[in-house]
Amino acid sequence: MSTKCIFCEIVRDPSSSVVVYRDDVVFAIHDINPRAPIHLLIIPVQHITALSEMVGDDELIPMHIARVAEEMAKRQGINEHGFRLVINQGKDAGQTIPHLHAHMIGGKLLGDMG
């Protein structure tokens, strides 16, 4: 865990009221600047900055993120209409926090990304 990472700070405080889901691998919180009615961040507990840092079993984390996203979509009532799952990787992609995380976005018609 990084001492200066906001996501690692949330991991260190398991009583945090902002966490809407937690297991041994990931946790989920609401994005503070939502782009849609439902905008959750699904974040690995382990501090990983980039996909390229993953080795061994770490490579299973993105699949776990996808499974948790599906569960959270069911809980939020958006699984039938659809949602977007996005990982911004690096500065040019818009990653602002250097801790791997996925955005689960839905609850409205999101339109084409093209």
Q: Give me the domains of the chain, ranges plus CATH numbers.
A: 6-106 (3.30.428.10)
Task: Tell me, yes or no, if 99 is annotated catalytic.
Answer: no
User: Are the beta carbons of 28 and 21 closer than 8 angstroms?
Assistant: yes
Task: Give the tens place of pLDDT for each residue, 24-69.
Answer: 999 999 999 999 999 999 999 999 999 999 999 999 999 999 999 9
User: Can you spell out the DSSP letters for 72-94?
Assistant: HHHHHT-TTT-EEEE---SGGGT
User: Are the beta carbons of 30 and 46 closer than 8 angstroms?
Assistant: no
Written as six digits, the tokens of 40 are 């959750």
| Angstrom distance (rounded) from CA 20 to CA 42 | 10
Choosing from 30, 39, 64, 101, the catalytic residue is 101
Task: Give the tens place of pLDDT for each residue, 9-24.
Answer: 988 886 766 899 999 9
Looking at residue 25, its amino acid is V
User: Are the beta carbons of 98 and 59 closer than 8 angstroms?
Assistant: no
